[in-house]
Amino acid sequence: MILAVGPDPSDATKDSEVRRPVGVREVAKRAQVSLGTVSNVINTPDSVRPKTRARVEKAMRELGFVGSRAAGQLRSRKSGLVGVVLPDVGNPYWADVLRGVESVLEDQDLTLVVGSTRQDPARQKRLLRAFAQQGVDGLVVAPIDTLRGWEPFAGRRLGVVALENGAGPDVGSTISLDNVGGARQAIAHLLALGHRSIAFINGPQSVPWCVERREGVLDGIRAAGLKTSEVLIEVEVADLTSAKGLTATDDLWGIYQPTAIMCANDLVALGALLSLQRHGLRVPEDVSLIGYDDVVFVEALRPPLTTVRQPSFEVGVMAGKMLLSGAAHDGSERELVTPSLVVRESTGPAPLRKRT
Amino acid sequence: MILAVGPDPSDATKDSEVRRPVGVREVAKRAQVSLGTVSNVINTPDSVRPKTRARVEKAMRELGFVGSRAAGQLRSRKSGLVGVVLPDVGNPYWADVLRGVESVLEDQDLTLVVGSTRQDPARQKRLLRAFAQQGVDGLVVAPIDTLRGWEPFAGRRLGVVALENGAGPDVGSTISLDNVGGARQAIAHLLALGHRSIAFINGPQSVPWCVERREGVLDGIRAAGLKTSEVLIEVEVADLTSAKGLTATDDLWGIYQPTAIMCANDLVALGALLSLQRHGLRVPEDVSLIGYDDVVFVEALRPPLTTVRQPSFEVGVMAGKMLLSGAAHDGSERELVTPSLVVRESTGPAPLRKRT
DNA sequence: TAAATCGAGTGAACCGGTTCATAATTCGCT
DNA sequence: AGCGAATTATGAACCGGTTCACTCGATTTA
């Protein structure tokens, strides 16, 4: 605790007496009913006679009753909370997924509690523990690390839905995206355009879907009868953000000058684009660029970005529905989503350039 | 504790019984200490002899103790939660503000609970009530409506910080952004370029800072000795998103063809840009476009967007610090942030075109 | 008319981690 | 060894909304 160094703390006026919030008992007294009735008004209004209910509601209003979820939750063992653990809500892709989940759950008087892991396993762990302690009724998690510590959620009312696969042991239900396939499409596109010197800016290999996207890239290169070591330059960034994409591309360009850059997501690609522009390079004439996710703004970039489209909102909706249906709780339902390549103007024929 | 996946968990008792999570009492029994000691290990580890503490921690680990924040919070009257109410976390601007708040609070073992209002007063109200019931210790709110219902938070441990001004009655501390000034700079820029037919796509007039930005626009026009009614075309969108910006611009263009469009934020401007491109219009040769916020991607748009820069991350940091310093609790501290115009390539001289 | 049924309301017990007055140890020092 | 002070440990009471077995009066059924 940080104490202020105020001139004279000796005021001694006990006005700091924060009057405690009013509770059900006070409301009950004022409305001339028992505390149980107040509880009924809150939870099962239909079981209370309208006249009585009105009296209680009036009392609640007059007293400014708010109620403590903690107290209720303690006894009822329901929190009305659903935890959502995502890599980064600042990424429009995940923000969209979140909107999808929200759209399904908001009528069910469930409140979303959201946390970003920022590709940091320690943060994922902390978030999961925090959510467990909050007593969330259900969990939607996009693991950026093999999912440990999810057990406390298995017994919860709604269970667990894992987005992206490769999470680890059977984790409730999962919605998998075919990352291998998506990445393969992207790399195949570049190869078909004649690119033979391609940089791949990827996230940490501790993240399951980064591993998968890499796999897809390697697969695609081999499938074209080429040697990965001769074609691919791999770069790893800790954080899949535009800032990191920018610096990574700056650094990369000092060493290699590939004819194409593929990024693990659109934010990184945005950073790469900014970097290339600052170097005075034209896209796609000098360098082709390809992203992943198809977030909203890439269509308006200069040039519009070729990318791999994944349905974001829809994935969120699926996750929400899985929770509600109980599929996440007992049986483990699996769902597979297939991404598709969206070719725009940021990719073009490979320029002639000697391999460095 | 990691459970082995052995073929036969010999206990085999009525396992369908969702066994309740272990509590302090069970840990205490196992560690041969009193329940008070377990609580001390959790909250004030230094007050427990290392040997005892180790025993308790071992027991917690073996039993998979998680703990219930609800129970603790009930007695201690501390939730360790800070509520953050923003218009839209999907907007990179607000995501950045959030990151700022987070960066200050995450070491203080405070957990952020975030909600988006989407310019909907009803949602704001719901969120505030929910946060009050969760017993958040502090609140950061960017009101999209005169702030009612914040009183329950005033007495909380950390208090209230309001972002953007015009909230209403004295609400803890506030961080105001000079929206009038920012908008005035933007419109002055357009007028200086010769534009005399300008559309302004703004958010709902129930949102305080939309009102202010409008005021700045009107001011700026009048300051140039022009009649607002002759220069300005006002458009209102319910939601400050790219989707709404796109449709609003589509609709607008069917009726008027202004030489410049100013948007209440960059997301709307992005939507407008997409719409203009689809109409085959060149920016800025046919239409100038100006946004607000300077979110990360606008620099990479085609063309790079002229906009009004507001420090986002920094505002979040300020808000976080205000909460911690206690300024948000008692004295109401005021802070004013001044935005600045960033001229890029989306604005240019007004083309010759007859006023429609 | 008496008995069974039902809707409404009651309030003591309860959820489980924290508090705090009290008790038990340990430690420093003579 | 003896004694007071400091450190550590104890556990009953508590936070406040929910639960549920129970009461009460009214309506329906026999």
| pLDDT attached to residue B331 | 59
pLDDT higher than 50, residue A304: yes
pLDDT at residue B27 in the model: 96
Question: In this predicted structure, what is the pLDDT of residue A300?
Answer: 84
CA–C1' gap, A152 and C24, in angstroms: 37
Contact A90 B96 (CB under 8 A): yes
pLDDT confidence tier of residue B317, bands split at 50, 70 and 90: very high
The helix (H) or strand (E) run that includes residue A69 is helix A69-76
Coil, strand or helix at A126:
helix
Express as a percent the part of chain A with pLDDT over 90: 69
Residues B241, B266, B304, A94, Cα dihedral to 10°: -50
What confidence category does residue A90 fall into, taking pLDDT thresholds of 50, 70 and 90? confident
**Average pLDDT over every residue of A55-72:** 95
Give the pLDDT of residue B151: 80
pLDDT-wise least confident of A15-29, B81-95, B190-204, B205-219: A15-29
Spell out which residues of chain B touch residue A159, defining contact as CB-CB under 8 Å: none
Cβ of A98 within 8 Å of Cβ of B89? The answer is yes
pLDDT of residue A6: 29
Which one-letter DSSP state was computed for residue B317?
A: H
User: Which residues on B lie below 8 Å from A11 (Cβ)?
Assistant: none
* Among A104-113, B77-86, B252-261, the least confident range: A104-113
Which residues of B fall within a CB distance of 8 Å from A135? 68-70
pLDDT of residue B1: 24
Chain A, chain B: beta-carbon pairs less than 8 Å apart: 113
Q: At what angle do helices A179-192 and A208-223 cross, to 10 degrees?
A: 40
Mean pLDDT, chain A, integer:
88
Nucleotide nearest to B37 (CA to C1'): D9
Q: Is-contact A198 A235, C-beta < 8 A?
A: no
User: How far is the C-alpha of A165 from the C-alpha of A161, rounded, in Å?
Assistant: 10
R_g of chain A, CA atoms, integer Å:
27
Q: Classify A118 in phi/psi space as left (phi over 0), alpha (psi -120 to 50) or beta.
A: left
Give the minimum alpha-carbon distance from A73 to chain B in angstroms, rounded to a whole number: 7
Q: Report CA(A204)–C1'(C8) in Å, whole number.
A: 62
Interface test with A, best of B297, B312, B323 (most A CBs within 10 A): B297
Percent of chain B with pLDDT over 70: 90
Nucleotide nearest B34, CA–C1', reads: D10
CA B91 to CA A17: how far, in whole Å?
A: 40
What would the pLDDT profile of A309-340 be if each residue is shown by its tens digit?
999 999 999 999 999 988 777 657 888 999 99
Residue B70 CA, nucleotide C13 C1', distance (Å)? 19
pLDDT at position B341 over 80: yes
B134/A69 Cβ within 8 A: yes
B232-236 β-sheet, strand order: B232-236, B198-202, B260-263, B288-290
Distance from CA of A50 to the nearest CA of B (A): 24
- Identify which of A21, A130, A152 has the shortest CB distance to residue B152: A21
Collapsed DSSP state (helix, strand, coil) of residue A103: helix
- List pLDDT tens digits, range B44-54: 999 999 999 99
- Token pair belonging to B203: 């958010």
Q: Do B95 and A90 touch (CB under 8 A)?
A: yes
Strand C: which nucleotides have any atom within 7 A of a protein Cβ? 7-21
Per-residue pLDDT, averaged over B206-225, amounts to 94
Question: What are the structure tokens assigned to B260, written together?
Answer: 């410049």
| 8 Å CB contact of B133 and A73 | no
Q: Which residue's CA shows the smallest distance to C1' of D17?
A: A72
Nucleotide C12, nearest residue via CA and C1': A36
The answer on pLDDT for A169 being more than 70 is no
Tokens of residue A168, six digits: 């680890």
- Please name each of the domains of chain B with its CATH number: 2-175 (3.40.50.2300), 179-309 (3.40.50.2300)
Chain A: give the shortest CA distance to residue B150, in Å.
12
Mean pLDDT estimate for chain B: 88
| Residues B89, A95: C-beta atoms closer than 8 Å | yes
Q: Cβ–Cβ of A134/B69 closer than 8 Å?
A: yes
Give B55 CA → D2 C1' in Å: 33
Mean pLDDT in residue range A207-235 = 95
For the segment B88-104, the average pLDDT, to the nearest whole number, is 90
Averaged over B285-308, what is the pLDDT? Answer: 94
Q: Which of A129, A132, A297 comes nearest B297 by C-beta?
A: A297
Residue B39's pLDDT band, with cuts at 50, 70 and 90, is very high
Residue A71 Cα, gap to closest chain B Cα (Å): 6
Q: How confident is the model at residue B271 (pLDDT cuts 50, 70, 90)?
A: very high
3 state SS of A14: helix
pLDDT for res B270: 95
Q: Is the dihedral of CA B249, B255, B257, B263 positive or negative?
A: negative
Contact residues for strand D with beta carbon within 7 Å: A 20-21, 23-25, 35-36, 38-40, 42-43, 67-68, 71-72, 74-76, 78; B 32-37, 39-40, 47-49, 51-53, 71, 74-75
Determine the distance in angstroms separating the CA of B339 from the nearest CA of chain A, rounded to an integer.
Answer: 22
Question: Taking CA atoms, what residue in A is nearest to B277?
Answer: A300
**Contact in structure between B340 and B308 (CB atoms under 8 Å):** yes
pLDDT for res A354: 53
Residue B169 scores a pLDDT above 80: no
pLDDT at B235: 97
Residue B9 has pLDDT above 70, yes or no: no
Q: What is the pLDDT of residue A14?
A: 37
B336 - beta bridge partners? B176
Strands A340-342 and A307-309, bridge-based pairing: antiparallel
pLDDT > 70: percent of chain A: 91
Chain B residues closer than 8 Å to A300 by CB = 270, 273-274, 277, 301-302
- Which range among A13-27, A65-79, A90-104 shows the weakest confidence by mean pLDDT? A13-27
User: Span B70-93, mean pLDDT?
Assistant: 92
- The residue in chain A having the minimum alpha-carbon distance to the alpha carbon of residue B66 is A133
Contact A291, A269 (CB under 8 A): yes
Position B168 scores a pLDDT of: 60
Of B316, B262, B264, B295, the closest CA to residue B86 belongs to: B316
Neighbouring residues of B15: CB distance < 8 A, sequence distance ≥ 6: none
Taking the C-alpha atoms of residue B51 and residue B60, their distance in angstroms, rounded to an integer, is: 14
Distances (CA, A) of A112 to A80, A90, A149, B156, B275: 9, 16, 20, 22, 33
Beta bridge partners of B262: B200, B290
Q: Distance (Å) from the C-alpha of residue B12 to the closest C-alpha of chain A?
A: 17
**CB-proximal positions of chain D, under 7 Å:** 7-21
A131: nearest CA partner in chain B: B69
User: Which residues lie across from A84 on neighbouring strands?
Assistant: A114, A140
pLDDT, one tens digit per residue, over B183-198 is 999 999 999 999 999 9
CA distance B260 to A300: 18
Q: Which one of A2, A74, A79 has the shortest CB-CB distance to B324? A: A2
- Indicate yes or no: CB of A89 within 8 angstroms of CB of B74: no
Are the Cβ atoms of B270 and A300 closer than 8 angstroms? Answer: yes
Disruptive mutation site among A275, A296, A305, A312 for chain B (greatest number of B CBs within 10 Å) = A296
A95 contacts B95? CB cut-off 8 A: yes
Closest CA to B195 of B7, B352, B69: B352
Q: What does the pLDDT read at residue A355?
A: 46
Strand partners, A260: A198, A288
Token pair for residue B186?
A: 């933007």
CB nearest to A274's CB, from B98, B152, B300: B300
DSSP codes joined into one string, B47-106: GS-HHHHHHHHHHHHHHT----HHHHHHHH----EEEEEES-TTSHHHHHHHHHHHHHHG
- Please give the protein residue whose CA is closest to the C1' of the nucleotide C14: A75
* Measured CA distances, B112 to A61, A173, A279, B141 (Å): 29, 27, 39, 12
Classify residue A315 as left (phi > 0), alpha (psi -120 to 50) or beta: alpha
Q: What is the pLDDT of residues A333-354, one digit of tens each?
A: 888 999 999 999 999 999 986 5
